């Protein structure tokens, strides 16, 4: 598909679709047979999922996923070529239009949720059993890369790796789930239960608006899956640290730096000293600080009247998060006349490790049936799945593409791992979930 030239108007609700014959023709035209059937290692200590409901499913998924690999690789590259930095509403809306058209072609009802900084998307696919609670899948279409990055870092494939801004985080995840639904549609299958996919436009800022949209979907969800990239070895993410984004603002008093320096109060000097103090406050197990952005002052011959720092904080426990944010809220100025204020811009709760994880067992069993060895481990970064995991809902993240280098110039995905991920996602959609909690 090509990028849309204009975004849908605010409040636009979209339920576009093509005929089944058109969709099959398109899919046939863009698939390619690549790769070999991977060896199937024996699964040790893993009970197989209930694939009996769909006889021959593992072999069929293998075959179909291999033929779709090329199409998904191309789709990921095309999406990455639509630059979509957080906050650029025009570009985010253009990408939302393109994504919505792709998901609608696989049978989804697509809804745009207006947001000033870029529209969010909600997609719904019907299930074979509409009486069941829906499976919730979450993703995002914003990236950390500014417009113009493609000029000196184009999307290209080298040595089995597709590289470019946003390919891993997370254009590939969005392409993979589209491929999984396309695979099921080609088989004439629907997901076992209804599926809702929420794609937010502000995840890279901590989802200040998107979080509310995700939270509204949680009460009725059977389980929550995230399309963020997995660990570099392909392992899923079973827990995440909490995170908070805090703006530290210092107000001083401007003065001529030569003639009247004593009359001024340097906001820059105060901010520097406050950052040293803050680093001492957070220097404790389970807490990390990144001073991501610092601004202040106007000219070298003017005592700075204002300075700001944007801090990224990560926490291993809810207690560490509460303690640190409380300490920041009670900061006081070190210089007479200066003012210091800490403002929490966005915050995600800690998603703690849970020893009993029936959802991970289920996914591991599906992977084993597909000939894949798969495990899970906690992750250092935060994401929208924190919201569900912190509430104790059955949650897994890392179902996006295997690769490395998110937010870095070596960001890439491994194209040889696309087919296994397509097959796994399709199996997760098609195979009944086991009982994950008392009310599932």
* 271-292: burial string, b at 16+ Cβ within 10 Å, e else: bbbbbeebeeebeeebbbbeee
**Nearest by Cα to 106 from 29, 34, 22, 173:** 22
Q: How far apart are the first and last CA of the chain?
A: 38
Active site residue 209: no
Q: In what order do the strands lie in the sheet with 109-113?
A: 13-14, 109-113, 120-125, 195-200, 135-140, 223-226, 395-396
- Of the candidates 433, 423, 434, 432, the residue with the CA atom closest to the CA atom of residue 184: 423
170 preceded by cis ω (within 30°)?
A: yes
Q: Cβ atoms within 10 A of the Cβ of 309, count?
A: 21
Reference 335, options 278, 274, 281, 276; nearest CA is 274
Strands (E), 57-108: none
142 catalytic? Reply is yes
The tokens for 208 are 């200040």
> Which secondary-structure segment (H or E) carries 110?
strand 109-113
**Nearest CA to 192 among 253, 130, 241?**
130
Q: Which residue among the candidates 169, 186, 202, 203 is catalytic per the annotation?
A: 203
148: left (phi over 0), alpha (psi -120 to 50) or beta: left
Distance between CA atoms of 301 and 283, rounded to whole angstroms?
35
β-bridge partners, 251: 306, 339
What long-range pairs does 253-262 form, CB within 8 A, spacing at least 24? 253/303, 253/305, 253/337, 254/298, 254/302, 254/303, 254/304, 254/305, 255/302, 255/303, 256/301, 256/302, 256/303, 257/300, 257/301, 257/302, 257/303, 258/301, 261/303
Which of the residues 142, 204, 254, 411 is marked catalytic? 142
194 closest CA partner among 164, 217, 226: 217
The two three-digit tokens of residue 79, written as one number = 């999406």
Q: Which residues are catalytic?
A: 142, 203
């Amino acid at each position: 598909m090509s990028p849309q030239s204009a975004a849908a108007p605010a409040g636009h609700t979209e339920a576009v679709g093509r005929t089944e014959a058109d969709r099959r023709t398109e899919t046939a035209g863009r698939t390619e047979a690549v790769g070999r059937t991977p060896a199937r290692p024996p699964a040790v200590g893993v009970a197989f999922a209930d694939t009996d409901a769909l006889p021959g499913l593992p072999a069929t998924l293998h075959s179909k996923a291999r033929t779709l690999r090329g199409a998904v690789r191309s789709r990921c590259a095309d999406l990455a070529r639509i630059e979509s930095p957080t906050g650029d509403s025009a570009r985010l809306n253009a990408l939302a239009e393109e994504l919505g058209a792709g998901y609608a072609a696989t049978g989804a009802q697509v809804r745009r949720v207006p947001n000033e900084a870029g529209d969010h998307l909600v997609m719904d696919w019907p299930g074979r059993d509409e009486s069941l609670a829906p499976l919730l899948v979450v993703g995002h279409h914003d990236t950390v890369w500014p417009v113009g990055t493609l000029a000196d870092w184009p999307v290209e494939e080298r040595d089995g790796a597709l590289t470019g801004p946003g390919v891993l985080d997370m254009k590939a995840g969005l392409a993979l789930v589209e491929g999984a639904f396309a695979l099921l549609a080609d088989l004439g299958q629907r997901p076992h239960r209804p599926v809702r996919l929420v794609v937010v436009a502000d995840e890279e800022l901590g989802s200040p608006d998107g979080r509310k949209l995700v939270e509204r979907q949680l009460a009725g969800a059977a389980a929550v899956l995230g399309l963020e990239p997995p660990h570099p070895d392909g392992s899923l993410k079973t827990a995440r640290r909490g995170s908070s984004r805090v703006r530290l603002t210092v107000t001083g008093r401007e003065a001529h730096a030569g003639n009247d320096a004593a009359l001024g109060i340097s906001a820059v000097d105060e901010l520097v000293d406050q950052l040293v103090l803050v680093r001492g406050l957070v220097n404790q197990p389970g807490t990390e600080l990144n001073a991501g952005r610092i601004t202040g002052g106007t000219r070298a011959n003017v005592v700075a009247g204002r300075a700001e720092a944007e801090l990224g904080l990560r926490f291993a426990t809810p207690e560490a998060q509460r303690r640190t944010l409380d300490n920041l809220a009670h900061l006081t100025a070190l210089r007479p006349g200066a003012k210091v204020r800490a403002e929490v811009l966005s915050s995600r709760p800690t998603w703690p490790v849970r020893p009993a994880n029936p959802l991970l067992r289920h996914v591991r069993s599906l992977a084993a049936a597909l000939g894949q060895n798969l495990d899970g481990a906690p992750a250092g970064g935060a994401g929208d799945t924190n919201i569900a995991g912190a509430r104790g809902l059955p949650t897994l993240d890392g179902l996006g593409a295997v690769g490395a280098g998110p937010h870095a110039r070596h960001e890439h995905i491994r194209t040889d791992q696309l087919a296994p991920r397509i097959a796994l996602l399709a199996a997760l959609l098609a195979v009944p979930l086991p009982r994950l909690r008392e009310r599932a």
